Amino acid sequence: MHVNNGRTTNRRLLVIAAIAVAALATACTSGNGSGSGSQAANTSAAAPGKGGAPSASPTPAGAIVKVSPGNGTKDADPSAGVTVTATRGTLTSVTVTPEAAAVGTLAADSGNPSGPLPGAFSAGSTQWHSTWTLGVAQRYTVTTTATYHGITKTTTSVFSTLTPHSTFTTEIFEGEGQTYGVAMPILLTFSQPIKDEAAVERSLQVKTSYAKPIVGAWYWDTDESLAFRPRSYWPAHTRVTLTAHLDGVEGAPGVYGYHTLTQSFAIGQSVIAVASTTSHHTKVYVGGKLAYTWPISSGRPGDDTPNGTYLTIEKENPVLMKGPGYALEVPWSVRFTWSGDYYHDAYWSVGEQGFENVSHGCVNLPPAAAETYYKLAVPGDPITITSSPKAGTWDNGWTYWFLTWSQLVRGSATHEAVLTNSSGSTFVDPSTLSPVHLTTPLESAASGIWGNGAAS
């Protein structure tokens, strides 16, 4: 009896132990009772699937980020910029930094800022692209941070841009801190012909101090000459800053810019002259109001002063003027064409001024009037000649105001307008701009005065 009772007790203990082990195993599995203990620990935290049961999800492996140019690249094309793409996850930060000591003489002389490159994220922050081109012969470090399923990952890569065999430089006419008239265009000259004109245009940033946006457009006179002209005259006393991000721009196949050009200048007071060859008078508006009406004598028949809205180019007191049968030191002379037309003192023709055209093409003024205008004038003040039988000649002076607004836009490689303010400039479709009704001569050049109706 005692032995049999012992065996029964042992069996009961074994059964109880087996039940306890089974209960423990059941407690460590998912709701369906299957899987090992480690799998159960992962899947028990998953979101419930159909019927309320948790569904399995893959273990997060971190974001996947691609940088172009890739890590270790030695001769990257600077015109392509930098692109960072999160093929899995979301970008949270991108920093592209050039080395303080650039590679080679070109980059050392480029004048580019040494700080991180500006750029922008796409919608959803899955891609980032640099705003401007990269500098030539320059080494960059790209640091990216991205997240995926709560996991943050930071990566770093390094690459270098190519050293071009051929380069171009750019010069701006306007001097730093100098003052110009309300009709003055920004004038750029390139050392080599530009073939990718749109790429050059898009590298150019114009800022102004004026409170409201100013509309303008770029215009290619030749493949080595580019100008920015506002749609209407600049507001008086506006400060204009050009930043040309040309380092790394491929202006022609294999020909790259290698410098960033920055220049600021001021627009002075509004000084606008309008001369009629038939009324024999000129009117001069200062600060938006008629300030002077002076008698003149313009070009005699055969030497007619040509129609058009020109700009004052330079002034000198006196200027030696030579022609058939004369050589004179002419006081108070303000030039407006390359061929030699001036507003100037003509003390010898005072009797004809106001009545008859007797000059060799210039606009003759009384001595006191010529001195007054000379002291007012700065490069870029508009001078409009009207009523002449002779049409003006394109490029005989700064003739950008011969063009209507639509003609100006068509001269841009992008065929877009430029909207500029204190934050910079953007390209816009001209058809989206509100129409304006400009008054002449105070806001814009008169149309239809430049031969054959070309400016109508």
User: What are the residue ranges of helices labelled H in 113-256?
Assistant: 197-202
**CA count, 13 A, side-chain hemisphere, 32:** 14
Annotated catalytic residue within 237, 362, 415, 437: 362
Element (H, E) at 15: helix 2-27
Cβ-contact 49, 55 below 8 angstroms: yes
Cβ-based neighbour number of residue 64 at 10 Å: 14
CB environment 342-359: b (16+ within 10 A), e (fewer): bbbbbeebeebbeeebbb
Annotated catalytic residue within 165, 281, 344, 360: 344
Q: Please name the amino acid found at residue 315.
A: K
Beta strands 170-172 and 326-330: pairing type?
unpaired
- Catalytic residue list contains 28: no
Q: Which of 269, 271, 281, 254 is nearest to 165 (CA)?
A: 254
Q: Which of 405, 416, 407 is nearest to 444 (CA)?
A: 405
CA distances from 453 to 391, 403, 404, 446 (A): 10, 11, 11, 12
Which of the residues are catalytic?
344, 362
